[in-house]
């Protein structure tokens, strides 16, 4: 038996497909056994099933999984509560949980955790069981492979994926045993992936340089007059836009646009970094329902395929304003999901062949002041809001349920890398946490049926750092 410590040096190089091009990625990792003897091994992993950025990518990580052994220094804590205490009025999401925080809905995550429970029936220390008993890990990993239909290219790749799975699994156990946290984690479709693969496939927000500078400079330094002036200008512009379009001055104590019928089903961006497209279309779906009275599924693939001339980069990222600028060039015409469905790759733009596109006319947008959650609250009372968040943490990779309540050192509000849709807010009367309800694009198997709750009031993970509203005349 030995404990495996992984240290990765991964180099991804993608070239135009040719007869001799390779899809192999070389991973080097060290294994430390009980005698502290370190052996170096390497393997070539076929990455042809993964859509990675079309540029040379170097990533050097010494410990890619977050160390949660001392969580009190990194996480906010409500001393009177634990993560198992759930919001009694949160659309039945918290009605029943297993000890691992997995919602009992019969999906693939639940089947894996049911198998884990059986493996641990005689164990008094879950963490030690996974750390020291390779047979237990092998059994659980075999179950994971079967349930999630994993077929690896080689024995070497399987060995790597099993090592990744064990690291992720132990991190999940640490999270779920930490009573300081208000959320839970679980095994899911990402549990055998490297962080690089996860980031390339499941994110895709590229913030323009001028906006990125505003985020980096958005602190409360009294000497930063330019930054403060910029924020005030943004507030004034938003205030005028809100007044022009009748944004309410008063807000309700809780709101859920999902239950009110202005949000379509959760989608899956598959292996394409086009989260920006899914979040944009989710906002427009809510806007169409509000103006036309019917809820329809619009096509994120249209933005992925058609908007590169306006600043987006297909599966390699994009942003909200470029997407709206593209749509406005076609009189606000939007195609349906059924006419232009998701393919996980950049394809031919089909907009010119659409016979009955939905037309908004000119779509207007306004940015919420950076970090202003009071303004964000008013904005979401008018409909779903496009927001960027910092999802560059294993918390999002494993998230299953509860309210993410990390402090800025654990999840910087300035490092925005993923686009999602704000669809409501509420309060957990047991924990006392106010939260935002957010629609993601990682399938309904992730999180709370595809949604995540993030604590409200402290700009957790940058939830109010890069937000936009949309209106029509």
Place of tokens 């198992």: 84
Per the annotation, the verdict on 418 as an active-site residue is yes
What is the rounded radius of gyration, in angstroms, for the C-alpha atoms of the chain? 23
Q: Which run of H or E residues covers position 40?
A: strand 38-46
DSSP track, 364-378 = EEEEPPTT-HHHHHH
CA-to-CA dists, residue 307 to 20, 86, 212, 238, 323, angstroms: 31, 42, 21, 26, 6
**From 418, 428, 459, 461, the catalytic residue:** 418
Going by C-alpha positions, the residue among 351, 334, 202 that lies closest to residue 281 is: 334
Cβ within 8 Å of residue 8, ≥6 positions away: 27, 28, 29, 59, 60, 61, 64, 194
Collapsing DSSP to helix, strand or coil, 358 comes out as: strand
Residues in the chain: 473
How many whole angstroms separate alpha carbon 119 and alpha carbon 62? 31
- SS3 for 186? coil
Decide: residue 257, CB within 10 A, 0-12 exposed, 13-18 middle, 19+ buried: buried
Phi, then psi, of 101 in degrees rounded to 5? 80, 20
Which of 203, 189, 162, 192 lies closest to 52 in space, CA to CA? 203
Please work out, in degrees rounded to the nearest 5, the angle formed at the alpha carbon of residue 93 by the alpha carbons of 92 and 97: 110
Strands 57-61 and 8-12: antiparallel
Dist CA 37 CA 20 (whole Å): 39
CB atoms within 10 A of CB 216: 11
340 given a catalytic annotation: no
Q: Are 187 and 113 in contact (CB under 8 A)?
A: yes
Terminal alpha carbon distance of the chain: 67
Look up 275 and say whether it is catalytic: yes
For residues 318 and 276, the answer to whether their CB atoms sit within 8 Å is: yes
* Sign for the pseudo-dihedral over CA of 214, 269, 376, 401: negative
Q: How far apart are CA 74 and CA 408, in angstroms?
A: 9
User: Token digits for 313?
Assistant: 């980069």
CA-nearest of 442, 454, 394, 443 to 170 is 394
- Active-site residue, from 275, 306, 315, 349: 275
Q: How far apart are CA 360 and CA 408, in angstroms?
A: 39
Catalytic residue among 178, 405, 440, 459: 440
Residues with active-site annotation: 275, 418, 440
């Amino acid at each position: 038996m030995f404990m495996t410590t992984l240290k990765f040096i991964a180099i991804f190089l993608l070239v135009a497909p040719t007869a001799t091009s390779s899809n192999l990625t070389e991973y080097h990792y060290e294994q430390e056994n009980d005698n502290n003897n370190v052996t170096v091994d390497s393997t070539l992993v076929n990455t042809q099933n993964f859509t990675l950025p079309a540029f040379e990518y170097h990533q050097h990580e010494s410990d890619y999984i977050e160390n949660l052994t001392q969580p009190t220094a990194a996480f906010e804590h409500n001393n009177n509560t634990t993560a198992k205490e759930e919001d009694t009025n949160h659309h039945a999401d918290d009605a029943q949980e297993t000890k691992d925080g997995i919602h009992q809905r019969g999906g693939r995550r639940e089947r894996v955790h049911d198998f884990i429970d059986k493996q641990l029936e005689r164990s008094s220390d879950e963490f030690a069981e996974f750390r020291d008993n390779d047979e237990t890990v092998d059994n659980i990993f075999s179950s994971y492979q079967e349930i999630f239909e994993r077929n690896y290219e080689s024995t070497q790749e399987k060995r790597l994926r099993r090592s990744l799975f064990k690291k992720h699994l132990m991190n999940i156990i640490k999270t779920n045993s930490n009573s300081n946290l208000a959320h839970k984690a679980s095994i899911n479709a990402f549990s055998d992936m490297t962080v690089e693969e996860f980031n390339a496939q499941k994110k895709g927000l590229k913030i323009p340089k001028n906006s990125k500078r505003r985020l980096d400079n958005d602190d409360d330094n009294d000497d930063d007059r330019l930054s403060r002036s910029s924020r005030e200008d943004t507030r004034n512009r938003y205030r005028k836009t809100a007044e022009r379009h009748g944004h309410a001055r008063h807000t309700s104590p809780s709101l859920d646009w999902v239950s009110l019928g202005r949000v379509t089903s959760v989608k899956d961006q598959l292996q394409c970094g086009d989260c920006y497209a899914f979040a944009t279309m989710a906002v427009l779906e809510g806007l169409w329902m509000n103006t036309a009275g019917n809820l329809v599924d619009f096509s994120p693939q249209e933005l992925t395929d058609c908007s590169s001339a306006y600043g987006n980069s297909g599966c390699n990222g994009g942003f909200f304003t470029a997407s709206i600028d593209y749509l406005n060039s076609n009189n606000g015409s939007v195609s349906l999901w059924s006419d232009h469905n998701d393919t996980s790759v950049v394809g031919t733009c089909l907009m010119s062949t659409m016979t009955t596109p939905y037309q908004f006319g000119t779509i207007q947008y306004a940015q919420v002041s950076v970090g202003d959650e009071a303004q964000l609250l008013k904005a979401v009372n008018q409909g779903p809001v496009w927001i960027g968040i910092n999802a560059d943490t294993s918390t999002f990779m494993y998230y299953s349920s509860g309210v993410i309540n990390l402090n800025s050192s654990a999840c910087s509000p300035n490092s925005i890398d993923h686009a999602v849709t704000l669809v409501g807010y509420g309060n957990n009367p047991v924990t006392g946490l106010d939260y935002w309800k957010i629609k993601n694009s990682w399938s309904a198997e992730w999180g709370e049926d595809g949604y995540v709750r993030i604590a409200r009031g402290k700009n957790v993970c940058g939830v109010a750092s890069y937000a936009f509203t949309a209106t029509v005349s």
